[in-house]
């Protein structure tokens, strides 16, 4: 299929965010539509991640509209939602080379652009990196610089994100954390944090009232920095009393705002402008739809996370069925795992947020009680498996991880396999040495795969 060269009234004139900032706020909804259509067209012929970028369009446009990028810093988490960001920051023409050798890289990286503030690829690191930048800005006399971390609800389930939040709460900084909450990881997001965010949504009226009240106090000059903390504490106490639950972010001295509609571009711009001027760490909770604006992706976000080629007009996926091709490594493993689990009741499956990507969904369907999606938490996945293996006498735990993300659990594996005594079996997917993004290259294969005793790993 030939790539369709659609003309765009606004987007065609935007080479860099400085062009975007010349538009009126009234023009932004149209720009968002154009950017969405352009991404859909381009990804349909040159496959990559789709649904996450479509869901983050308004956040992307609003950030570059309100903040003075690249001097202000936007730190993306994972980076698979940053196609809009790449298109608005000088890489639109070259985007047809996305994920190709020497082409545009799949995730943001400072090697490619000054607008890419940090190397992305693996989840949950944006808060830590952004906090480091916020502290560095103060140390280097650039106190006016704003730093924003953009993190998905899936990535927020990762331990590293919690470590970042913990440090944000105790280090003086003006960081803004944007929580892009679409209820999805690659598969449906899981875990206590996810349920907690859902609860926060249900307190929308309270949160809106509080935001308006704080705006009013601020405009009247009643909200001095010294008074803010006291008011925040009072707010928390009232909210906790009303809801019988503490706001986890505010409990950590990170001011919480939201949830707002993450597709209402005018509202997000307004909120960003207000938060930009606010001192201290704050978190803005935006509710978005993964795959927004492309019906098939909205309906089946997991498939459309990275759908391969497709027809943008009909939404039909153009998967090549070549009978001569060998089956995918992860599918062989998924079927084998199920077969083994049927004959050995001691086998369980543990996956850190990759049931579909690593084909553990095959076992999940038949044995939901013996499979565990633990969220984006590689270290936890391994240690949790070790605990089970030790006390439930399970001989074989099958943990599925993306190979390169396994580096996050190397240390855990050693401790676990020693105490569990029984074998752990891991499998993962990997890219080649020449893959255009460093986070997915298997340069560290040896470190990731070298097995401690009783630990067998394989990769494909």
Ligand X SMILES: Cc1ncc(C[n+]2csc(CCOP(=O)(O)OP(=O)(O)O)c2C)c(N)n1
Lookup result for tokens 């984006």: 376
Q: Is 82 in the site for ligand X (CB under 6 A)?
A: no
Q: Least distance to ligand X from the beta carbon of 125, Å?
A: 8
Tell me which residues in 376-395 interact with ligand X (CB under 6 A). 376, 378
Q: By CB under 6 A, name the one of 58, 72, 153, 250 that touches ligand X.
A: 153
Q: In the complex, what is the shortest distance from the CB of residue 7 to ligand X, in angstroms, rounded to a whole number?
A: 29
186 binds ligand X (CB under 6 A): yes
Nearer to ligand X, 38 or 77 (CB): 77
Q: Is there a contact between 442 and 432 (Cβ–Cβ < 8 Å)?
A: yes
Binding range to ligand X, per CB under 6 A, among 26-34, 177-185, 255-263, 388-396:
177-185
Does 361 interact with ligand X (rule: CB under 6 A)?
Answer: no
Tell which phi-psi region holds residue 191, choosing left (phi > 0), alpha (psi between -120 and 50) or beta.
left
Judged by CB under 6 A, does residue 402 bind ligand X? Answer: yes
Q: Does 119 bind ligand X (CB under 6 A)?
A: no
Query: In this chain, which of 130, 155, 341, 362 binds ligand X, going by CB under 6 A?
Result: 155
Among the residue ranges 179-187, 274-282, 412-420, 446-454, the one whose residues contact ligand X (CB under 6 A): 179-187
Among 17, 48, 55, 428, binds ligand X (CB under 6 A): 55
Q: Which of residues 283-312 bind ligand X (CB under 6 A)?
A: 290
Report d(CA 353, CA 186) in Å as an integer: 7
- Where does this chain touch ligand X (CB under 6 A) — which range of 29-37, 146-154, 238-246, 310-318? 146-154
Q: Shortest gap between Cβ of 153 and ligand X (angstroms)? A: 5
Question: Binding residue for ligand X (CB under 6 A) from 63, 66, 74, 123?
Answer: 123
Question: Using CB under 6 A, which of 32, 405, 430, 448 touches ligand X?
Answer: 405
Binding segment (CB under 6 A) for ligand X, from list 15-23, 93-101, 402-410, 411-419: 402-410
- Contact call for residue 78 and ligand X (CB under 6 A): yes
Shortest Cβ 305–ligand X spacing (Å): 6
**Per rule CB under 6 A, is residue 398 in the interface with ligand X?**
no
Q: Does 99 bind ligand X (CB under 6 A)?
A: no
Q: Which stretch binds ligand X (CB under 6 A): 166-174, 204-212, 223-231, 349-357?
A: 349-357
Q: Which of 108, 154, 281, 334 binds ligand X (CB under 6 A)?
A: 154
State the greatest distance between any 2 C-alpha atoms of the chain, in Å, as a whole number.
Answer: 72
**How near is the Cβ of 399 to ligand X at its closest, in Å?**
12
82 in Cβ contact with 58 (< 8 Å)? no
- Closer to ligand X at the Cβ: 52 or 214? 52
Please give the residue whose beta carbon sits closest to ligand X in the complex: 152
Identity of the residue, 31 or 354, whose beta carbon is nearer to ligand X in the bound complex: 354
- Binding status of residue 152 toward ligand X by CB under 6 A: yes
SS (H, E, C) the chain: CCCCCCCCCCHHHCCCHHHHCCCCHHHHHHHHHHHHHHHHHHHHHCCCCCHHHHHCHHHHHHHHHHCCCCCCEEEECCCCCCHHHHHHHHHCHHHHHCCCCCCCCCCCCCCCCCCCCCCCCCCCCHHHHHHHHHHHHHHCCCCCCCEEEEEECCHHHCHHHHHHHHHHCCCCCCCEEEEEECCECCCECCCHHHHHHHHHHCCHHHHHHHHHHHHHHHHCCCCCHHHHHHHHHHHHHHHHHHHCCCCHHHHCCCEEEEEEECCCHHHHHHHHHHHHCCCCCEEEEEECCCCCCCHHHHHCCCHHHCCCCECCCCCCECCCCCCCCCCCHHHHHHHHHHHHHHHCCCCEEEECCCCCCCCCHHHHHHCHHHEEECCCCHHHHHHHHHHHHHHHCCCCEEEEEEHHHHHHHHHHHHHHHHHHCCCEEEEEECCCCCCCCHHHCHHHHHHHHCCCCCEEEEEC
353 binds ligand X, rule: CB under 6 A: yes
Residues that bind ligand X (CB under 6 A): 52, 55, 78, 80-81, 122-123, 152-155, 180, 182, 184-186, 189, 290, 352-354, 376, 378, 402, 405, 408
């Amino acid at each position: 299929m030939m790539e369709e060269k659609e003309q765009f009234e606004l987007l065609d004139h935007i080479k860099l965010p400085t062009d975007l900032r010349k538009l009126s706020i009234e023009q932004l909804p149209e720009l968002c539509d154009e950017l969405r259509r352009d991404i859909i067209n381009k990804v349909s012929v040159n496959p990559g991640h789709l649904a996450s970028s479509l869901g983050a369009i308004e956040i992307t446009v609003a950030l570059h509209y309100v903040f003075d990028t690249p001097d202000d810093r936007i730190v993306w988490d994972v980076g698979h939602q940053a196609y809009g960001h790449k298109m608005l920051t000088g890489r639109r023409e070259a985007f047809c080379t996305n994920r190709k050798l020497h082409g545009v890289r799949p995730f943001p990286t400072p090697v490619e652009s000054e607008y890419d503030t940090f190397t992305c690829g693996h989840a949950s690191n944006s808060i830590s990196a952004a906090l480091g930048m916020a502290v560095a800005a103060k140390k280097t006399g650039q106190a006016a610089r704003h730093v924003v971390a953009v993190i998905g609800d899936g990535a927020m389930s990762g331990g590293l994100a919690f470590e970042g939040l913990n440090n944000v709460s105790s280090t003086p900084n003006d960081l803004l954390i944007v929580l892009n909450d679409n209820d999805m990881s690659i598969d449906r997001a899981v875990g206590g944090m996810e349920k907690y965010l859902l609860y926060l949504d249900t307190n929308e009226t309270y949160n809106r009232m509080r935001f308006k009240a704080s705006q009013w106090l601020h405009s009247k000059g009643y909200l001095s920095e010294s008074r803010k903390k006291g008011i925040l504490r009072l707010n928390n106490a009232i909210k906790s009393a009303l809801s019988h639950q503490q706001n986890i972010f505010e409990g950590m001295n990170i001011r919480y705002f939201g949830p707002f509609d993450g597709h209402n571009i005018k509202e997000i711009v307004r909120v960003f402008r207000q938060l930009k001027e606010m001192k201290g760490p704050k978190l803005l909770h935006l509710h978005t739809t993964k795959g927004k604006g492309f019906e098939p992706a909205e309906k089946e976000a997991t498939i459309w996370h990275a759908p391969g080629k497709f027809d943008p007009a009909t939404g039909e996926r153009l998967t090549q069925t070549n009978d001569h091709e060998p089956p995918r490594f992860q599918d062989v493993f998924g079927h084998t795992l199920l077969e083994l689990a049927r004959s050995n009741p001691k086998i369980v499956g543990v996956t850190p947020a990759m049931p579909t990507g690593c084909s553990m969904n095959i076992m999940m369907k038949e044995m939901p009680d013996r499979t565990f999606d633990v969220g984006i938490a590689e270290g936890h996945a391994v240690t949790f498996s070790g605990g089970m293996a030790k006390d439930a006498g399970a001989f074989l735990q099958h943990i599925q991880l993306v190979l390169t993300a396994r580096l996050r659990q190397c240390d855990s594996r050693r401790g676990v396999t020693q105490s569990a005594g029984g074998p752990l079996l891991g499998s993962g997917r990997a890219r080649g040495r020449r893959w255009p993004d460093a986070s997915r290259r298997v340069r560290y294969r040896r470190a990731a795969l070298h097995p401690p005793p009783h630990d067998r790993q394989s990769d494909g």
